């Protein structure tokens, strides 16, 4: 199996071009094997690039634990770069089919290669049952989420209930604002939020420290992968949650461990747009 390793702001995946070779068998097991950072290639998951009947290409993605996911903003930027750089479609405007629908990509070309990609991520899903959560209502803003497993090491003793805001960008997100980012929040609370009973399909957990109305620092615990260096859909969710809670404006710069992403939630068409880098690391063959 020929593959290419790529990353968007450090959110790294193994990519397989299914235009030139048949899709591998047993994709969940393959995703687990190639994602292993000690015995495999190493990555946050597996992404396949397929032909599409309705777009320039189709993205199919699996998390590191083998579970299939609907969308990945950082992964989608890399799909756009691969499609252009490898000659599958040499247009600077692409339409890519994903589990969240067909999305539009604007590619920034420099010296014949793609360095940065802007994605129209579409409208955020805000209704509780559609995200999905067990909460009902048109928006889930500052909802009370009780920690079921007792006090978490390193956190104040009175932290037993979180105020969370939930958004779907084709995949579900739960945003928590904190005074200061720490491992106790991300590594301690993140897995509990991912598997909490309020989220029937599990959830990605974002922890956010607001720096100004136009800037935030964040870390993400991704369902099926654990903490990643960046999460594009998570950054989009943070942009939307910032507006819903009155903490930030409609355009923000998000600082993630793997790099910065620019987000904008348009008042005109209600679409969220994500801009960030896409990098090819190497290509090889998996025996």
Q: Which residues are catalytic?
A: 72, 231
Inter-residue contact 50 to 60 (CB < 8 Å): yes
What 3-state class would DSSP assign to 228? strand
Task: For residue 169, give the nearest of 222, 211, 210, 248 by alpha carbon.
Answer: 222
The pairing of beta strand 57-63 with beta strand 11-17? unpaired
For residue 55, is the peptide bond before it cis, meaning its omega torsion is within 30 degrees of 0? Answer: no
Half-sphere exposure for 199 (CA within 13 Å, toward CB): 26
Inter-residue contact 282 to 4 (CB < 8 Å): yes
As given in the structure block, the two tokens for residue 238 are: 């943070």
Inter-residue contact 136 to 129 (CB < 8 Å): yes
Task: List Cβ neighbours of 37 (8 Å cut-off, separation of 6 or more).
Answer: 43
């Amino acid at each position: 199996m020929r593959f290419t390793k790529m990353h968007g702001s450090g959110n790294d995946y193994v990519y397989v071009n299914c235009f030139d070779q048949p899709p591998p068998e047993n994709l969940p097991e393959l995703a687990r094997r190639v994602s292993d950072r000690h015995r495999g290639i190493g990555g946050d998951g597996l992404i396949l690039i397929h032909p599409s009947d309705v777009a320039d290409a189709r993205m199919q993605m699996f998390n590191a634990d083998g579970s299939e996911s609907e969308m990945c903003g950082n992964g989608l930027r890399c799909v756009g770069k691969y499609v252009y750089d490898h000659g599958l479609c040499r247009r600077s405007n692409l339409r890519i089919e994903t589990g969240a629908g067909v999305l539009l990509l604007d590619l920034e070309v420099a010296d014949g290669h793609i360095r940065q990609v802007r994605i129209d991520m579409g409208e955020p899903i805000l209704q509780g049952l559609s995200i999905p959560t067990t909460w009902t209502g048109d928006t889930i803003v500052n909802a009370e989420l009780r920690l079921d497993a007792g006090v978490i090491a390193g956190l104040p003793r009175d932290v037993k209930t979180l105020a969370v805001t939930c958004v779907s960008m084709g995949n579900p997100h739960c945003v928590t604002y904190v005074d200061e980012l720490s491992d106790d929040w991300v590594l301690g609370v993140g897995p509990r939020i991912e598997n909490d009973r309020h989220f029937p399909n599990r959830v990605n957990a974002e922890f956010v420290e607001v720096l100004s109305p136009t800037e935030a620092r964040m870390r993400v615990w991704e369902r099926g992968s654990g903490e990643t260096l960046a999460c594009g859909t998570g950054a989009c969710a943070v942009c939307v949650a910032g507006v819903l809670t009155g903490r930030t404006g409609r355009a923000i710069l998000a600082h993630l461990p793997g790099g910065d992403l620019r987000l904008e939630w348009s008042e005109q068409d209600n679409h969220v747009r994500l801009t960030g880098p896409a990098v090819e690391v190497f290509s090889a063959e998996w025996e």
